Amino acid sequence: VAAGALALLLSVFLQWRALARDLRADMGTLVNLGEAIMRRENGATRQAHVASTRDAIALLGQYARESREMPATTAAPALRRAVPMAGLPESRTQGMEVEELDSDPAELLAARPRKPAKIDIPETLFRAYDVRGVVGQALTAPVAELLGQAVATLVQEQGGHRVAVARDARPSSPQLAEALVRGLNAGGCDVLDIGQAPTPLLYFAMHTQPVQAGIVVTGSHNPAEYNGFKIVIGDRVLDGDDLLALRRRMLEGAFSHGNGSVERVDLVAEYIEAVVREVQLARPLRVVVDAGNGVAGDLAVATLEALGCEVVPLFCEPDGSFPNHHPDPSQPDNLASLMLEVQAQDADIGIALDGDGDRLGVIDNTGANVWPDSVLMLLAADILGRHPGVDILYDVKSSRHLASFILGHGGRPIMW
C-alpha cells in the first residue's frame, strides 16, 4: 500500500512539474507579446502549451500585429486592457502598467469589431460542392485569404484548430494556397501543408493526421483558367448552404483571430504503404495511366508499381496548362489517346485521372470504355466479397441497374 501511495504521489508531482513548466513557457510568451505591443512590433508567437492560455495568446498576437499601425499612444492602453499577468514574477512585469482581465479571452476574441469585406466576393464562386471560379476575375488571392479566415473560424467553433492543405499543379495554385494559409493562420488555425498533391492524398491526411479539417486548392476537371477550393470539416464535405454561409461570414468579417503555425509534411510514402497493406493483386498487370497532366500522375504510377504492376505513363508530368487534352475522364473524347495506347502496349487496363485525381476513367484490354456503372459494380462486388451485407453508397447519376446489382450480391444500396 505504501509503495502504491508513493508511486501515486510521484506521478502527481511529475504532472505538476510538467504543468508548471508549460505555464511558465506560456506566461513568457504573453510577456513577450506584451512587450512587442509596447514597442509596436509583431512579436513572436509560439504555440500555447496549456489550453487555458491559448485564447489569451491568440488575442495578444492579434493586438501585436495591429499595434504596428496604431499611434504610439494607443498601443499601451491596448496592452493594459488585454494582458493577463497574474502569477508572473515581479521582475518580469516591472515598469508595465497592467490589469487583470475582467472577462475570458475567448469572449474578447468573439467581441472584436467586425470588419466587413472591402473586396468583391461573387456569389457565383460558391457552387454546389466547392468554391470555384476564373482566376484573376471572380477568384483572387484576397478572396482566398478571407476564405481561409472564415474556414478557420468555423473549424474553431466546432472545437478544432488544425487544417490540412494541398494544392494541384495549376500555375495559380501556389499563390492561392499561400493566401489561403495566411487566412487560416490569421484565424487562429495551425496548418499541415502537404504541398502539391492530389485530392485523395488530402483525404488520406484527414484520416491519418491530427487535423480537424482539410482544404485542397484545385480546379479539378475544369479548364486551366479555373481554380477553386474543396473543403472538408470533420467528416463533412461543405456544400450548398454551408458554402453560402462561409460567403456571408466573409462579407461580414465575422472571424476569429490568432497566430497559427505551418508544418510541411510529405505523406506519399505513408500513403503508398497503406495501399499496399490493403490491396493484393491476383497477378501482375500492365497498366497505362493517363493523368492528363494533372497532379495525380506521379503518385498513381508509384502506387501501382508498388503493387507489382508494370506501368506505362501517359501525360503524367504535372502541367497545369493541360497541353494534351482536357483533364476530365468522364468525357469520352478525352480518353482517345488512352484507348490507342492500351491497344499499342497490349495492356490489361487503362486508367484516366482528372486534374486533382478524384475522377476515374477505365479502359479495358480491348481499348473500349468501361462505363462508370460497370466500374461501380466491380467495386461493389469486391467490397461485398470481403464485407458481406454492408451499405454501398451511390449517387443519382447512377442507373437503376447498380442498385439491383448491389441487392443481388447481398448489399444494401443507399442513394446519396
Q: What pLDDT, on a 0 to 100 scale, did the predictor assign at position 311?
A: 99
Q: Please write the tens of the pLDDT for every residue from 388-406.
A: 999 999 988 898 899 999 9
Shared-domain flag, residues 255 and 271: no
User: Is residue 162 within 8 Å of residue 188, measured between CB atoms?
Assistant: no
Q: Would you say residue 238 has pLDDT above 60? A: yes
Q: Would you say residue 308 has pLDDT above 80? A: yes
Q: How far apart are the first and last CA of the chain?
A: 59
Rg of the chain, C-alpha, whole Å? 26
User: Structural domain of residue 403, as residue ranges?
Assistant: 373-416
Q: Please write the tens of the pLDDT for every residue from 350-380.
A: 999 999 999 999 999 999 999 999 999 999 9
Q: Would you say residue 53 has pLDDT above 60? A: yes
Shared-domain flag, residues 219 and 349: no
The C-alpha atoms of residue 23 and residue 236 are separated, in whole angstroms, by 35
- Active site positions, annotated: 220
Shared-domain flag, residues 317 and 256: no
181 to each of 20, 67, 97, 142, 215, how far by Cα in Å? 33, 22, 35, 12, 10
Task: Name the DSSP letter for residue 319.
Answer: -
Shared-domain flag, residues 135 and 104: no
Instruction: Flag whether 116 is in a domain.
Output: no
Shared-domain flag, residues 384 and 366: no
Q: To 5 degrees, how large is the angle CA 384–CA 390–CA 394?
A: 85
Shared-domain flag, residues 250 and 271: no
CATH code for the domain in which residue 364 is found: 3.40.120.10
